Structure 1
Amino acid sequence: MEAEHFLPFRKSAVIALCAEEVPAKERESFLEFARLLAALVHHRYHVRGDGLLDAYQVLDPAADERAVHSATTTDYIVAQQILERELVELAEAADFTRIDTAEIRRAFAEHSLVKVRLAVDDQDLDAALFFRRGVAERTEQVKWLFGLRRRAVEFTCYSKVLVYIPRLGGEVVLKLFRDVPRNDLEMLYPDARVGMRPLDKLLIGVPAMISGIIVIATKLIAALAPVLLLLAFWAGLRQESVRLDQTALISLAAGTGAFGGYLFRQFSKFKNRKIKLLKTLSEHLYFRNLDNGAGVFHHLLDAAEDADLKQMLLTYHFLNTTPHPLTPADLDTQIESWFHSRWNTTFDFEARAGIQALQSLNLLTEPHPGTYTAIPLPAAITHLDAHWDNIFRPPTSGKRKTGAAPTQDHTG
């Protein structure tokens, strides 16, 4: 599996790690730069989030909020288009990776940690969007031999899985889960149907067959014998008539009742087994569910904001502390090697995205085509301060502050 873009460090940790390598006399300036950059990135995602949540409100109106206008069919279509586009872009900005349909189909076919077999319609399977972040290999002790023993099972686990499923009528299912084994992805479908595994069928079917043979042999056949002989007489297969007296009728009723009770018990066992499987599935999902609906977008916005900020900070820090200009490939190698050698962390850094974001803020120079360096910290702080002030400056109020470029929204 390819290395992820996700860096498993909080933004505060990244700021602290970079600040430790800055000369003591520049450390306070670097922290001020980080605070200004974080405020600017946060504002941009705040504005983006407002538009996104407005679109989601059209598709899934909050029960405790009133709408000014009734949504039209066109409003639903436009809102869903915005939602799906922003969902994919935010998921990528937050370092989530798209899970293809083939991997989900494998989850249906392979053994899962939760002993439940599920099925889902192909239409739901093809329409759903799944994203993952944080891949880890884990080992867990699971029950074996009907719970008499335990054995260690190694599996791939995703720290977070995002699920988006459009429904007819414009409705959407939007959920976020944590700690999901790769082979259990099928359990995240809301309309998945619980089925019986071969082992479940054997546990119910074999005892049912044995007890059924016993009931039929000892109860039903003996009770039906007079009736069968009478039917044979009516059909001309037997010469001697058979009389059904009160004892025979009572025996027939008892045998039929015993067989009916047997069928009811087997049906109850089947239902109880299915209820147990549903309970197992519900518990599995309950403890892994992180967020639903609009809350998922809040989570994505925060995660994308953090990822953007970490990317920009690392790009600026390494370009600022390296004595010569760097190409994007050199910057990739330096940052990835730094995390691997010092914190044993492997990830795929995207230098070009960080460079593009910093260029939009006039924080980089390009001494030679394809090579970049950062402007000094005092100038960088001045540029960020000017960008921040110009966010709230009316267009007609006069010239922008020196050093500020026209404000552009960087969306990662």
Structure 2
Amino acid sequence: MPKLALLRFIPFRRADILQMCLQEGQLDAESLVKFKNGARQIERHFRDDFHRAKHALKDAYFSLDPDADTRLVHLDNRDTASSQDDLARQVSELLERANYDKVTPEVLSKALDSASLFDIRLVVNLDDFAEVLLYTRGASEREEVIRGPFNLWRKTVRFVNYDRVVLYLRFKDEMNEDSSLAGCRPGATMLKLFQNVPDADMEMLFPNTQVGMRLRDKLMIGIPALVSGGVVLTTKLGATLVLTGSLLGFWLGWHNDEVTLDRKAIIVLLAGAGTIGAYLWKQISNFKNRKLRFNEALTRNLYFKLLDNNAGVLYRLLDDAEESECKESLLAYYFLLAAHQPLSAQELDQRIEVWFSQRWQCRLDFDVDDALQKLAKLNLAYIDADYWHISALSADVEG
């Protein structure tokens, strides 16, 4: 299992970050006023910024939303392809601001090829889609004990678990009638948000997931079928097989002994045919019932993992991204104020990460450069000779 990177996502609410900083008691009266005013300015800025981003995303997604219940009015020359490209770009930028990581095609392919933790075989055909993008946040290593049939054996499996997974799917403009997605709207874009997803179970997130039979499942059905089939042949179909063999031998000219199809013979043939039909139907039912249990396990699992769909995913991501931007800015601003002296970006980054590790038992990779750039944009801090200073005017900001 590859070594996991440190979290970029700060797993605390914005309101809690604000209180956590204030409770440290490292600010004098003047710095405290600056921090409270700066916090209001930061929150106001990102509230307005993401309000604009929300409307831009709504405009880009409207014509592609499979759940839209309002009419599409063509008032400009914008085509579907440009809307798709614009949406993909905006969603990618939004996910980056919300501290999500993009899953590379190589990692996705490896995840789809790995064995499912639910002990079932899942198959996904990515060729059904025009575009597939997957993003994750909050990776952690976990262990789970998998039990065999009748608890005959146990196996401990280690895997990577993702706190959040976003799936971005764009359907082809022309859907194959034989595809399981034939009922979906061609050219539409689907967004899904999930929680607590093992890397080995990425297949279950796709709408065209098919449940297949593993070799073990086929053996569990096939071996009993062969055994019971032999019993049926020797105990219940003996007379039917003898009569059928005699008839075939006479019709094919292998012997000259004529076989009379009287009432008794016909009853024997019909009884044999009924026995064979009942046996085959039982084996088919066993196969269907086992597959149904697999589908039930898949549905039950997705019920607890699915958080939101389509436009609802965008609204959640907008809120997550706004929270993340505010938290990073608040932390950088507080620790610059608490230092009571200019700090380099590296010094500030180390102070914040050590504070989280020692004070809150949380190891993360703080994006200090992005946070400082946001403070500079808001005129709350500036850089001079590689050291960051608090702007003198920040104390005068009122909100």
TM-score, normalised via structure 1 length: 0.86
Aligned counterpart for 1:234 among listed residues 251, 258, 275: 251
Superposed, 1:91-106 pairs within 5 Å as 91-106=95-110
Output the amino acid matched with 1:334: R
CA shift in 2, pair 1:134/1:320, >3 Å: same
1:71 and 1:214 map into 2 onto residues whose CA distance is: 74
- Is 1:382 matched up with 2:392? no
Superposed, 1:192-231 pairs within 5 Å as 192-231=209-248
Q: What is the identity percentage for the equivalent residue pairs of Structure 1 and Structure 2? A: 37
Aligned counterpart for 2:191 among listed residues 153, 169, 174: 174
Output the amino acid matched with 2:336: L
Deviations 1:36-84 (A, max 9, x none): 31122111101111110121111116554344x1488943222211110
Shift of 1:347: 1.1
Name the residue aligned to 1:281.
298
1:28 and 1:373 map into 2 onto residues whose CA distance is: 17
**Matched position secondary structure for 1:190:** coil
2:84 and 2:68 map into 1 onto residues whose CA distance is: 19
Aligned counterpart for 1:35 among listed residues 32, 35, 40: 40
**Matched position secondary structure for 1:372:** strand
Deviations 1:276-322 (A, max 9, x none): 11111011111110000001011111111111111111111222222
1:323 and 1:270 map into 2 onto residues whose CA distance is: 72
Shift of 1:224: 3.0
Output the amino acid matched with 2:44: A
Output the amino acid matched with 2:230: I
Output the amino acid matched with 1:16: Q
Output the amino acid matched with 2:105: T
Name the residue aligned to 2:17.
14
**Matched position secondary structure for 2:237:** helix
Runs ≥4 residues deviating over 6 A = 148-151
Name the residue aligned to 2:387.
371
Cα-Cα RMSD: 2.3
1:66 and 1:127 map into 2 onto residues whose CA distance is: 25
Deviations 1:189-244 (A, max 9, x none): 11111101222212211111111222233333530322321221232321322222
1:195 and 1:73 map into 2 onto residues whose CA distance is: 46
1:29 and 1:383 map into 2 onto residues whose CA distance is: 8
Contact 1:104–1:186 (8 Å) recurs in 2: no
Name the residue aligned to 1:397.
none
Q: Where does the alignment leave 5 or more consecutive residues of structure 1 unmatched?
A: 386-412
TM-score, normalised via structure 2 length: 0.88
Output the amino acid matched with 2:293: K
Contact 2:42–2:378 (8 Å) recurs in 1: no
1:59 and 1:125 map into 2 onto residues whose CA distance is: 14
Deviations 1:147-206 (A, max 9, x none): 467665443211111001110232012100001112111111111111012222122111
- Is 1:77 matched up with 2:81? yes
Shift of 1:359: 1.2
Output the amino acid matched with 1:144: G
The structure whose RCO (Cα within 8 Å, separation 6+) is larger is: 2
CA shift in 2, pair 1:238/1:177, >3 Å: same
Give the total of aligned pairs: 381
CA shift in 2, pair 1:248/1:61, >3 Å: closer
Name the residue aligned to 1:336.
353
**Matched position secondary structure for 2:384:** coil
**Matched position secondary structure for 1:345:** coil
Output the amino acid matched with 1:237: W
1:126 and 1:338 map into 2 onto residues whose CA distance is: 45
Deviations 1:233-275 (A, max 9, x none): 2323213222222111101110111001111111111111111
Shift of 1:363: 1.6
Structure 1 stretch displaced more, 333-342 or 187-196: 333-342
